[in-house]
Structure 1
Amino acid sequence: MPSRARLDEFIAVVESGDHAGAIERYYTEDATMQENAAPPRVGRDVLVAHERAALARMSDVYSKCVSSVVEGDRVAIHWNFVLTEKSGLVRRFDEVAWQEWRGDLIFRERFFYDPTKVTGSS
């Protein structure tokens, strides 16, 4: 079960822009991530590689935690993201991450957002 301090630490790392580092430090080796109803990605190394590939397409990433809740081994985080692609396209979206923790590490995460509401502008 994560402590409030441990969750705040994780959020601070993500907000600092170190998304891949957050996965390396705060996820179990067998962790999964799932986008809405898509099949989950499995394994921390796969998750880190996916995140690094996504970040490589960006010139800037802004991540802000709006709110978060810890309830035993379950955590919900409401995020706002602004992603600026190298092409100049800016995408904004609002997401809720539902996490299940083993001790002080995340082992399952599912993201909920409306893909039709991911707005982009140049």
Structure 2
Amino acid sequence: MPSRDTIEAFIAAVESNDHVGAIRDFYTEDASMQENLTEPPRQGRQALMEHEAAVLQRVAAVRSRCIRPYLVEGDTVVIHWVFEFDLPDGKMRRIEELAHQTWRGEKIWRERFYYDPAQRAAH
């Protein structure tokens, strides 16, 4: 079960927009992430970091914010996130999602994101 201090440190890393570092520091080596149920899970911390780095290379800037409170029950954590992406063409994309996480001790082992896919359209 993760400590509140660890969850707060994870949130601070994401809010500082160090997304790759957050994966490096807070995910197990065999962690997985899954987008809604539309894509198969991505497997392994290294693959998760590479995917995140590729996403960040396609945007001009990102702003990340946790909408509190987050929920904790044993090894399960649910965080409400808002991400705003500035795209190279000047448009903006806002994604609001719930991240459902299963932790192993102080590290995230499984994560699934829930969001409306229509949010992927740029504004």
TM-score, structure 2 normalization: 0.95
| Secondary structure of the corresponding residue to residue 24 of structure 1 | helix
Q: Distance in 1 between matches of 2:103 and 2:33?
A: 12
| Kept in 2: contact 1:93–1:119 (CA 8 A) | no
Say if 2:115 is the partner of 1:108: no
5+ residue gaps, structure 1, are none
Q: Which residue of 2 aligns with 1:81?
A: 83
Return the offset for 1:120. 2.1
Q: Give aligned-pair identity as a percent.
A: 53
Per-residue CA shift, 1:58-111, capped at 9, x if unaligned? Answer: 111011000211111000000011011122221012100000000000000000
1:14 equivalent in alignment to 2:28: no
How many residue pairs get matched? 121
Which one has the bigger strand percentage? 1
Moved more, 22-31 or 63-72: 63-72
C-alpha distance in 2 between matches for 1:20 and 1:87: 24
- The alignment yields a C-alpha RMSD, in angstroms, of 0.9
Match of 2:95 in 1: 93
SS in 1 for 2:40: coil
Partner Cα distance (1:18, 1:117) in 2: 22
